[in-house]
Amino acid sequence: MLILLGLIALLVWPIFGPAPALLICCAMLGLALYRERVELKRLSTWLLAPKPESVPDTGGAWTQPYVLLSRILRAQRQHESSLSATLQRFQLAGAAFPDGLVILGERDEIEWCNPAAERHLRIDLRRDAGHQITYLMRAPSFVEYLRAENHPEPLTLRFEREIDRPAVLSIQTVPFGDRQRLVISRDVARIEAAETIRRDFVANVSHELRTPLTVVIGFMETVLDMKTLPPAVERQLQMVMEQAQRMQRLVEDLLTLSRLESADNPPAEDPVDVPLLLRMLYDDAMALSADRHRIVLALESKAWVRGSIDELRSAFGNLVTNAVRYTPAGGEITLSWQADGNEARFEVRDTGIGIDAQHLPRLTERFYRVDRSRSRETGGTGLGLAIVKHVATRHGARLDVVSKIAVGSRFAVVFPATSILRPATGAGSGSTDKAA
Ligand SMILES: Nc1ncnc2c1ncn2[C@@H]1O[C@H](COP(=O)(O)OP(=O)(O)OP(=O)(O)O)[C@@H](O)[C@H]1O
Ligand SMILES: [Mg+2]
**pLDDT, tens only, 104-147:** 999 999 999 999 999 999 999 999 999 999 998 888 999 989 88
pTM equals 0.69
Helices 2-16 and 18-48 cross at an angle (nearest 10°) of 160
pLDDT given at position 36: 86
Q: Which of 326, 349, 365 to mutate to test the pocket of ligand 1 (most atoms within 8 A of CB)?
A: 326
Q: Compare 315 and 95 and report the one with higher pLDDT.
A: 315
Q: What is the mean pLDDT of residues 21-39?
A: 87
| Contact between 173 and 102 (Cβ < 8 Å) | no
Torsion-angle region of 143 (φ positive above 0: left; ψ -120 to 50: alpha; else: beta): alpha
CA distance 364 to 401: 10
The interaxial angle of helices 309-325 and 384-394, nearest 10 deg, is 140
**How many whole angstroms separate alpha carbon 353 and alpha carbon 355?**
7
CA distances in angstroms from 63 to 39, 68, 178, 379, listed in the order given:
11, 9, 45, 93
- Per-residue pLDDT for 194 more than 80? yes
Residue 265: what pLDDT? 78
**157 CB under 6 A from ligand 1?**
no
What is the structure's pLDDT at 208?
94
- pLDDT in the model for residue 4: 82
- Give the 3-state secondary structure of residue 185: strand
Decide whether any atom of ligand 1 lies within 6 Å of the 409 Cβ. Answer: yes
Our answer on whether the CB atom of 346 is closer than 6 Å to any ligand 1 atom is: no
Residue 307 Cβ inside 6 Å of ligand 1? The answer reads no
pLDDT at position 387 over 90: yes
Confidence of residue 432 (pLDDT cuts 50, 70, 90): very low
pLDDT interval class at 5 (50, 70, 90) = confident
Mean pLDDT value of segment 374-394 = 85
Residue 321 Cα to ligand 2 midpoint, Å, equals 6
Ligand closest in space to the Cα of 347:
1
What is the pLDDT confidence band of residue 423, given thresholds at 50, 70 and 90?
low
Higher pLDDT, 226 or 318: 318
